[in-house]
A and B are shown apart, each in its own frame.
Chain A
């Protein structure tokens, strides 16, 4: 009689297990929240801007580099300063923000550009170099960063880590930094990950941690 009861318990137990498994597999397919299609632009390796050197390499529009298409060659421009001694930019034919260095330390055109030859850059030691070779000019002040850049520690690289198998490509300083306002620009973030489980509550829940913190 005892073995009979054990048999019943066994079969019932087994049945429960089987039914649970079967329901798990068929009866309740879990819902997956919809996601926006993948953004293939993320895989691109282009830089946030184009350096002067790259523009020349790519045969792009270099009119911005032809200073003497507007300026007179034998009439070096004078700087217009405001009451605080800061440069007035309105005069200039194209708009840009000048924000280089803490406390406006490097906001004088002729600390980098040569006054008598606007198409050349002037290194701290006075030597003139073409605009397309600007990296070394940046290195004149940002020595440690330049050292890191030279050995691939600072800045973007692509291609091959193994020089025996292929070339490595390194980007110019101005492929990421605008020399006139070098801080790296803010970007719109790529899409957040799909939620793990159906979301409960308000959409803003995820930022709660930050508000508490």
Chain B
């Protein structure tokens, strides 16, 4: 091999070999560290990679994307879904109210939510966490979420389900470096799963621990699939993205109640349009003594808790 020369001076054979060895090792290391990207071949096409932000997508382009999602879900699970891109309704702002006097901590809402929203079954992703709280305190540090008595409610405890509070000042939206999550006009903070880069900043920013990360590909069987899907809602998520409660967009933006509310055996959950003075939630906010969780953070939740008799 001839001696190579560089502008800085002569390089002898030994130093050339040494540097080549370093370079080769370095290249191999780069190749090794990038190799897992090969796994993404199936998940991401060039079209996906070059697409626009959700807010810039034209209706015709969205049609194409929805058709593609339909195809992918059918291919993957053998169930043909009905995927829609539901927009906020004019004059509607959603609010949830939860009556802590009624809630018995049965967790039925938790599992109804999982069934409705196509969450991964294992590892298990749940949007609602029911806290068992000792009577006489609001200190969540004293709560437990894995209580498992024969029957609930247990003497001496009350139960506080926590999920996305749909804040007016959402810290999760503020920290997202790519605007993959934003607050829509009806007050629902949504996530575009295809825009999310999986940095998990939002998960760290949320004081309610509402956001969940898909560490692995969500495991769902064909029987688990709820085929009524929305783009920003319950369509199956890829690995490596964040998800959370979206107030059942696929239902609520079509006028229906969310799944947790319908499933709750005690009627503890109330949901509706706060801009309509006759809605259940408007009356609750007028007549009951409601409070929000962690008010001191200034997040201004659209999720209100109350006690009544």
Contact = CB atoms under 8 A, between A and B. Distances in A.
Q: Decide whether A and B assemble into one complex.
A: yes
Interface in A140-162: 144, 148, 151-162
B150 A42 contact: no
A186 B152 contact: yes
B33 A18 contact: yes
B283 interface: yes
Interface stretch (A43-51, A79-87, A92-100): A43-51
B122 A32 contact: yes
Given A192-B146, A213-B142, 8 more contacts: A14-B29, A157-B261, A171-B267, A186-B104, A190-B111, A191-B111, A209-B143, A213-B137
Contact of A194 (B108, B123, B151, B216): B123
B107 A15 contact: no
24 contacts: A14-B29, A15-B26, A17-B33, A35-B122, A37-B121, A38-B111, A38-B224, A42-B111, A45-B263, A151-B280, A157-B267, A158-B257, A159-B257, A160-B255, A160-B257, A165-B256, A166-B256, A176-B266, A184-B102, A187-B151, A189-B107, A189-B148, A190-B106, A192-B148
At the interface, is chain A mostly helix, strand, loop or mixed? loop
B111 A39 contact: yes
Contacts of A34: 122
A176 B267 contact: yes
Interface in B234-293: 252, 254-257, 259, 261-267, 270-273, 278-280, 283-284, 287
Interface in A174-188: 176, 184, 186-188
Q: Interface SS of chain B: helix, strand, loop or mixed?
A: mixed
A62 interface: no
Contacts, number: 180
B265 A153 contact: no
A105 interface: no
Nearest to B223: A40
Given A18-B33, A160-B257, A189-B148, A38 B115 contact: yes
Contacts of A130: none
A206 B26 contact: no
Contacts of B126: 193
B19 interface: yes
Given A7-B19, A39-B111, A21 B33 contact: yes
A189 B105 contact: yes
In the A-B complex, the 9 residue pairs with the smallest Cβ-Cβ separation, listed nearest first, are A165-B255, A42-B111, A18-B29, A162-B255, A186-B151, A190-B107, A194-B124, A156-B267, A43-B115
Interface in A20-40: 21-22, 25-26, 30, 32, 34-35, 37-40
Contacts of A152: 270, 280
Contacts of A186: 104, 151-153
B152 A189 contact: yes
Contacts of B104: 184, 186-187
B90 interface: no
A136 to B, nearest CB: 19
Interface string B23-45: 10110011011011000000000
Interface string A121-144: 000000000000000000000001
